[in-house]
Structure 1
Amino acid sequence: MNLFKISPAKLHVADSILRLQFLSYQVEAAIVGFPDLPPCEDTVTSIMESGETFIGAYIGADLVGAISYKIEDNYIDIYRLMVHPEHFRKGIGQSLLRNVIGTYPSKHSYVFTGSENTPAINLYTSHGFHPTHEKEVTPGMFLTRLERSTSEAN
């Protein structure tokens, strides 16, 4: 597996990200019992115009995982972390997360994930993230914010 910074401004790249995102977030939607997750409603245009930095994980020519983020003040705001369902539990999400955190060791990080998404919460907590609060974004749908300070171990 190789990690590369990828440009969502390129149509074919945005299309690949969108296809991967749809497959990955369909799994999360099933886990949390909420089929209308916002990432499932993205378009190629919204990916292209997101303003996010994307890192892609490739096996050969296939995009099998990606993470996106923005740097805001002293924080890394992680927007998306996705892995193709055929490649779950192979360390791809771990590698992507480690790459971003390692690139900006002096910055704090935060992310939101579905409160019922135990695999995602376990991934983040294994990298030093701690739940800080939960919010209801629509009736019955809760997100947990997790934060990681720069003093946390990988």
Structure 2
Amino acid sequence: MGMSVTISAATAQDAEQILKLQYLCYQSEAAIYGDYAIEPLTQSLGGVRAELAQGHALVARLGDEVVASVRGWIDETGTAQISKLIVHPRMQRHGLGGRLLAAIEAHFAAASAAKKFQLFTGHRSEGNLRLYRSHGYVPVAREEVGPRLILVTLEKETAAGTFVTSA
């Protein structure tokens, strides 16, 4: 390729590229579950802009192209909710998803002293489950949201949260 991928905070100007990438990336998830009406495929540009404004998002760029992204926010319990970790299909299986996950965790651990991290994925999304487990996430809940989909919630303590509980 000749260029290296850089990770930085997303800006409002990235919203359109993020939405297009999200639409591309969630096609495989929709196929797994036979449901093309999932929220990431129906989200509007305004919805992406609102998420960018309300939380924190990162993008990975290859030159000017956004090739990966992740979003998150801190909820009322002090939990960092991580969502929509996406990597362009041609960039998958090279560690970029793990780099983005680690980067957003580091942001929330430093900036807001999050107590723990939480995310979710579908029960058949083996690649996602494998990635999250390899980064220390453990399943804590399962919720049937339809005849074909069970959402698996996974959590991980922050270094600060681990220290507090072990003290």
TM-score, normalising length: structure 2: 0.83
- Tell me by how many angstroms 1:117 deviates: 0.2
Query: Rg bigger for which structure?
Result: 2
Equivalent in the alignment of 1:133: 141
- Please list, as runs of the form range in 1=range in 2, the aligned pairs for 1:4-153 lying within 5 A after superposition: 4-8=8-12, 10=13, 13-50=14-51, 51-72=54-75, 73-105=77-109, 106-107=113-114, 108-151=116-159
Q: Where has structure 1 moved over 3 Å in runs of 4 or more?
A: none
Report the RMSD for the aligned CA atoms in angstroms.
Answer: 1.5
Distance 1:89 1:46 in 2: 28
Counterparts of 1:139 and 1:115, CA distance in 2: 12
Pick the structure with more strand per residue: 1
- Number of residue pairs matched? 149
- The structure where helix makes up a greater share of residues is 2
Question: Within 2, Cα distance between the matches of 1:98 and 1:41?
Answer: 27
Shift of 1:33: 3.3
Measured after TM superposition, the shift of residue 32 of structure 1 is 3.3
Unaligned runs of 5+ residues in structure 2 are 163-167
Report sequence identity in percent.
Answer: 30
Task: State the TM-score, normalizing by the size of structure 1.
Answer: 0.90
Q: Is the 8 A contact 2:33 2:148 kept in 1?
A: no
For 1:130 and 1:25, the matched residues in 2 are separated by 23
C-alpha contact 2:81 2:119 (8 A) present in aligned 1: yes
SS of residue matched to 1:55 = strand
